[in-house]
């Protein structure tokens, strides 16, 4: 399997992960509200982060903007992981750590995608040719 096909699969996987969580954020699911209240970002943070995750998911699916979607997803997942490690804990409301581990997986996959697209990043992409 060519690396471009692998990256396509990773892009689709990350987009699905990001987009499937939106129903919880946008419908005000009690677990989502609990998480964002705990970190002091309810309701604007919940909706705002949901919008950013939707944008990242869409950008990952558009060939010219893969790098932007991966960069945005990496940043969002960094925030999610830090919130788990500092305020929420690994396990949230008895989920067995599913949200935390999903954030880690999404972060790693986004980093792989971003690395594969490093030469496409405007302005600095050409300087990243040394890898």
- What is the pTM assigned to this prediction? 0.92
- Is-contact 120 66, C-beta < 8 A? yes
Name 67's Cβ contacts closer than 8 Å, sequence gap at least 6. Answer: 114, 117, 118, 120, 121, 125
- Which tens digits make up the pLDDT trace of 57-103? 999 999 999 999 999 999 999 999 999 999 999 999 999 999 999 99
Cβ atoms < 10 Å from Cβ of 86 = 9
| Helices (H), ranges, 21-127 | 22-26, 30-38, 44-61, 66-83, 98-116
């Amino acid at each position: 399997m060519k690396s471009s096909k692998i990256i396509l699969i990773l892009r689709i996987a990350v987009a699905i992960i990001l987009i499937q969580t939106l129903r919880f954020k946008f419908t005000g699911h009690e677990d989502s509200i609990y998480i964002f209240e705990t970190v002091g970002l309810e309701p604007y943070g919940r909706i705002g982060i949901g919008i950013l995750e939707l944008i990242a998911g869409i950008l990952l699916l558009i060939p010219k903007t893969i790098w932007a979607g991966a960069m945005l997803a990496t940043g969002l997942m960094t925030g999610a992981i830090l919130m788990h490690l500092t305020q929420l804990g690994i396990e949230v409301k008895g989920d067995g750590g599913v949200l935390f581990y999903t954030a880690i997986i999404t972060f790693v996959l986004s980093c792989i995608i971003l690395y594969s697209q490093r030469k496409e990043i405007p302005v600095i992409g050409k300087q990243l040719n040394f890898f």
